[in-house]
Structure 1
Amino acid sequence: MVVEAQTRWQKWFLVLWATAAALKLLIASQLPLFVDEAFYWQEGQHLAPAYSDLPGLTAWLTRLGVELGGQHVLALRLPFLAIGAIIPWFVVRMAARWFGPTAGWQAGILCLLMPLSGTLGLLAVPDVPMALAAVLCLHAVARLLRQVNASNAVELALGLAIGALSHYRFLGVIGMGLIALLLLPQGRRLLRDSRVWMALSVGFVAWLPLLAWNADNHDAGLRFQLLDRHPWSFHHEGVFFLLIQPLIVTPLLCGLLWLVAWRGSKRTDWNLQQRYFALTGGISTAMIFALGFFTDVERISFHWPLPGYLALLVAAPALLLGWSRRWRRLLWLSLLLGWVVALGYYAMASSPQWRQVLADNKFYPRNFIGWEPLAEAVRDELAQMPAGTRILAGSFKVGSELGFQLGDDSIAVLPHALNDRHGRTAQLALWKLIGDGRSDVPQLLVINPADQRFRDLLARYQQLCQWVGPLPGPRTVSIDHGRQRFLLMRLPPRPAGVVPDEACVTPALAWIDSPLPRATVGDQAQVRGWAFKDGVGLRSVELLLDGKPVMLADYGRTSEVRGVWAGSSDPQHPQVGFDARLDLSALPPGTHWLGLRLHGNDGSVEDWSEQRLHISR
């Protein structure tokens, strides 16, 4: 009976592992490059021991991928996919060694299906090698608690070195592991062994490149990771960090893991390794949950507890045995569903048709989208400009993504708050890629208006004017109904020392006050809003339905928007409002998209973002 159960779970693991590997390969080959991945690629093209945002390993792995497989997203991600495929096997090995073969295969399946670990490798990010480092250290310490020998110490040293080369956050993993050992009598004895300290010394040496980089650069990386990005004051948003965990782990598994952590702190009758896994995972996740009320809330951080969850997964099957058959089945079904949903999200981001479903939703995967169409537009613009024209990006996101698409790792980038908030300014400055736009040759300025909040957009445009002079009429690249928009502007040469003295001309700004987004209308719709263009003003506002022009709005109505846009220099203020009565009787019921085409007095034409409109009869 035991052998049959073991064989059955082994078959399930092998089928799921092969299925996961195939699906992740397929999705990774189609999924556009995430902005952080693009910057890691750029770092990999400038090989160095360490960088402003991270130690060196992630960049080195991206370089390895493209060197072996060429300039393709799948090649870049292949080393990370391979690491992601290895990690469940380590979980199997650990659980099988200490809790039996059946528990081992079950733990491996938990690791495969938990959305947070089951999607590892789809993106070329530092959490992948850091997760490998965590399981190597877990495996090594569990064996060292039983027997201290050279091979176990070498494995620990290897895990510590990989972690040190992966991310600053691995310091927390080390700290939590040491606390867990100090809570165990056997762990305290282990920490007195010289072979363990030799392994720890190797791990320390692996931090030296990062420490050296910070010493040479005024501790820019340390200040960003430990100080600048975190408020270090209590905020209630930490509650959302806790609430999202059951979603990315799945509710029943999340409850099981937290139960393992709780009982691990209370039970003294568990075997040594079970207590070690439970304590390490429990302390790690509890500390991260507590820090969630004091640390960064602007950037994604829901994945931070992963190393702790991996430790708890190893001990989870032993506790799962005490659940009823019904609850165990519910756990496996919910895990499978969560895994499918997680992979489905990435599949959706890979499909132009599927992602339009989320075009006006907060879950729209903006940082993945639009880079190939943008690169095509850039190539077309460069072909029409003088030889030697340079690209000037509005932020590191645009610069690194365009760099990957065009095979150019040295695209200049303008100063931007995004560069600072993501810890990339210091690195760009070291590459001499940060500038104010002055150039002896023509430039193609490429910006993404969504890189700043809408209320700050006019100020950003005016800042660009101070650097490069009046902004020429842009070419708009609009993706997914304008959910992702890029503006391309041809800049004449502006040598250093020449201060722009012309009046500032900016791209247009607009807003539809009614109907509201996702509004339901009948055969007629009253459209009202405002639009202006600093420096020259607008000639007309054209209404679009499903991307096609349908009528000119009555433009020039009084609209007192300067209370919000006090710095605007449109000469037509306050006559910048528009309205129109839109006849929708010829359109079929259902979802349609309402947009604007803004015609400037300087001859520019800009398409504004569209909003969803539902026609019902």
Structure 2
Amino acid sequence: MQDEGQRARRAFWTLWTLVLAAKIALAARLPLFVDEAFYWQEGQHLAWAYSDLPGLTAWLTRLGVELGGTHPLALRAPFLAIGALVPWLLARLAMREYGARDGWRAGTLALLLPLAGTLGLLALPDVPMALATVLCLDAGARLLKRASASASLELAAGLAIGALSHYRFLGVIAVGLAALLMLRDGRRVLRHPWVWAAIATGAAAWTPLVLWNLHNADAGLRFQLLDRHPWAFHPDGALFVLVQAAAVTPLLLAALLVAVRRGAQDAAPVSRYFAALGGLTVFGFFALGFFADNERVSFHWPLPGYLALLPLAPRVLDAWPRTARVATLALAALGLAGALGYHLTAARADLRERLAGTKAYPANFAGWRPLADEVRRTLATLPPGTRVIADNFKVGAQLGFALGDPDIPVLDHPLNHKHGRAPQLRLWGLRADRLPDETPVLLVAGTSDVRLRDLPAYYHALCARLGPLPPPRVLHVDRGEQRFLLFRFDPGAPRAGSCRTPAMAWIDVPAEGGRVPRRFVVRGWAFKDGVGLDRVEVTLDGRVVAQARYGTPDPGPRQRWPFSNDPQHPQVGFQAQVDARRLAPGRHRLGLRLHGRDGSVEPWPEQAIELR
């Protein structure tokens, strides 16, 4: 048994080293995720709490950049350290309860579990929340044996860290309390004054968030508990379970679910405690998936439950045939490699471009460095003192990080409200309701987050607020999967008049991903409100291959957007004959170049086709 413990220990530390090295290498190259950029911005405006979260995540980002400079790796460094600590703490906990072999194996499973193994790669609140969960789990296990001052102190630390991490930690507290109440030994624990002192300390840590909500009409609480959730049954919640099978890997998920049953039947109170805490959390989130937010990412929510079940998993796997155990570890390793590989894809432009047009495209990582470079180049051509304004919080935060300016004003945008960031921007005084009259302005808009059907209305809303839009400088990243428009507004520019907008277009034939012969027809529509289009060019892989015949009748766009004021409606259709016989068969990118009557030239996002 001692030899098995030594082998398990070596396996843990070998894997721990490899995983940490991989995460550090990725964290140094991976562009900031949108939320990370906003947490950086919050860290540059230090406060006890914010509209979307308690303060700890922002404080950790500030600590990282203060120590290491404004670089993604420095920002993520505190989270990488915490993420590396969690599996070791879990192994230490399991060793105390179940012996060295099972303890190190539980730690190894924590590393292989994709949700836990990737912790710290991104600067997200789930990282300190995972640490808080393990501290509370360990403290609870110790308290079940003896209500000591040191265990109570550990519980207080865990509760405080969790309270400063995320609203979602309230669920962990509720489940932990329920798990203790379910056990006779747990009820004994709750009668001890040291434990209530720890609980009081944890409760006090919620004070900044409570005060923030009291002073801001409960904006954060309403967003987290009401605004973002439909609280109505939706059957696609069943997909949540399938997503968990992918995120945890199927066999490891099965082992953790079996651990709930076996742990509940165990004679040891600590095993029943782990099973109750893990089972209530995991199955609770499975049920919640049918009623809660299904638009934003939520696959990581049950992680605290999985952490509670991991100490029980080695004994579950011991009861399985060797082939099942090997398959479980192999699938988990592949899952972890896949999660790290996905982030590698997001970090490399050549790999990321291959995902353009698919649901796997990492949009929230993509385009920010090219956008910052383009903004710098554009500002170099504009008068000194030109003010940069972003159209939404994503653009503002990412540009702020790249340009070293956490105070870029942001227009009021639906995305700001959808993600709970509008109140915070208002508190910082960064909501731009209009353009300054005497200062040149560079407005940077990210249109990829606006659905095509909503783009004309979005442009007209900008017109209503800012006046006719000047011809944009268009930046396409990954063949237009990420699209940014840069508008230059000079002092004294007209703020009234007929709305002029960027061009709109659509290719009806061929369809996205369609297979076409070497000579094929391209047909669709295009228009540009306020001025109209002069001509339309067809491109393949960025090169012009045909001049379209523009101006054929197509009443569809005007019927779809009755407010459109292109003077050429309904003559906005186009058709072109493309000869691609000189190109190799296979995958190519079909696009458009739209020439406005005002002299503007705007590329349209490309779509994939297959040449036969």
Length-normalised TM-score, structure 1: 0.98
Cα offsets for 1:111-156 (capped at 9, x unmatched):
0011111111111000000000000000011001011111110000
Shift, 1:461, TM fit:
0.3
Tell me, yes or no, if the aligned pair for 2:546 and 2:577 is still in contact at 8 Å: no
Paired residue for 1:117? Answer: 116
Q: Superposed, which structure 2 residues align to 1:505-544 within 5 Å? A: 505-544=500-539
Alignment partner of 2:574: what SS?
strand
The one of 362, 366, 369 aligned to 1:369: 366
Out of 327, 330, 333, the residue aligned to residue 330 of structure 2 is 333
Q: Distance in 1 between matches of 2:555 and 2:52?
A: 44
CA contact (8 A) 2:263 2:312 kept: no
Please list the CA deviations of residues 33-63 of structure 1 after superposition, one character each: whole Å capped at 9, or x if unmatched: 0000000000000000000000000000000
Partners of 1:501 and 1:334 in 2: CA distance? 61
Q: Deviations over 1:63-96 (max 9, x none)?
A: 0000000010000000000000000001101111
Match of 2:567 in 1: 571
- Kindly state the Cα deviation for residue 263 of structure 1 after the two structures are TM-superposed: 3.2
Asked whether 1:274 is paired with 2:241, we answer no
Q: Deviation digits for residues 473-526 of structure 1, max 9, x if unmatched?
A: 11111111111110001012369xxx9321100001100001011111121111
Partner of 2:581: 585
Separation in structure 2 between the aligned mates of residue 159 and residue 535 of structure 1, nearest angstrom: 59
1:407 and 2:401 correspond? no
Instruction: Rate the CA distance shift 1:76–1:494 in 2: closer, same or farther, 3 A.
Output: farther
Amino acid at match of 1:290: A
**What secondary structure does 2:475 align onto?**
strand
Return the alpha-carbon distance in structure 1 between the equivalents of residues 560 and 393 of structure 2.
29
Note the residue ranges of structure 2 that are not aligned, 5 or more in a row.
none
Equivalent in the alignment of 1:382: 379
Partner of 2:450: 452
For residues 144-171 of structure 1, the C-alpha deviation after alignment (integer angstroms, 9 at most, x for no partner) is 1011111110000000000000000000
Distance 2:267 2:24 in 1: 40
Partner of 2:488: 490
SS state at 2:420 partner: coil
- Partner-residue secondary structure (3-state), 2:508: strand
Name the Cα RMSD after superposition: 1.0
Are residue 606 (structure 1) and residue 595 (structure 2) matched? no
Aligned to 1:61: 60
Q: Residue 469 of structure 1 corresponds to which residue in structure 2? A: 467
Partner of 2:223: 224
Taking the aligned partners of 2:106 and 2:283, their CA distance within structure 1 comes to: 21
How far did residue 270 of structure 1 move?
A: 3.1
Alignment of 1:66-85 (within 5 A): 66-85=65-84
Contact 1:518 1:611 in 2 (8 A): yes
Q: 2:2 matched to which residue of 1?
A: 3
Residue 437 of structure 1, CA deviation: 2.6
Q: SS of the counterpart of 1:231? A: coil
1:466 counterpart letter in structure 2:
A
Residue 349 (structure 1) aligns with:
346
Q: Secondary structure at the match of 1:541?
A: strand
Question: For residues 525-561 of structure 1, what are the alpha-carbon distances to aligned partners after superposition, in whole Å with 9 as ceiling and x for unaligned?
Answer: 1100000000001001111111111221111111112
Partner of 2:440: 442
Q: How many Å separate the matches in 2 of 1:115 and 1:538? A: 50
How far apart are 1:262 and its partner, in Å? 2.9
Question: How far apart in 1 are the matches of 2:577 and 2:293?
Answer: 46
Give structure 1 stretches of 5+ with no counterpart: none
Q: In 1, distance between residues paired with 2:271 and 2:129?
A: 22
| Counterpart pick for 1:391 among 374, 388, 394 | 388
Q: How does 1:205-220 map to 2 (within 5 A)?
A: 205-220=204-219
* Whole-angstrom distance in 2 between the partners of 1:420 and 1:513: 34
Contact 2:468 2:496 in 1 (8 A): no
What's the counterpart of residue 305 of structure 2?
Answer: 308
Answer yes or no: is 1:86 the counterpart of 2:85: yes
Q: Which residue does the alignment assign to 1:283?
A: 280
Q: Say which SS state the counterpart of residue 117 (structure 1) adopts.
A: helix
Distance 2:208 2:261 in 1: 38
Size of the aligned set, in residue pairs, is 610
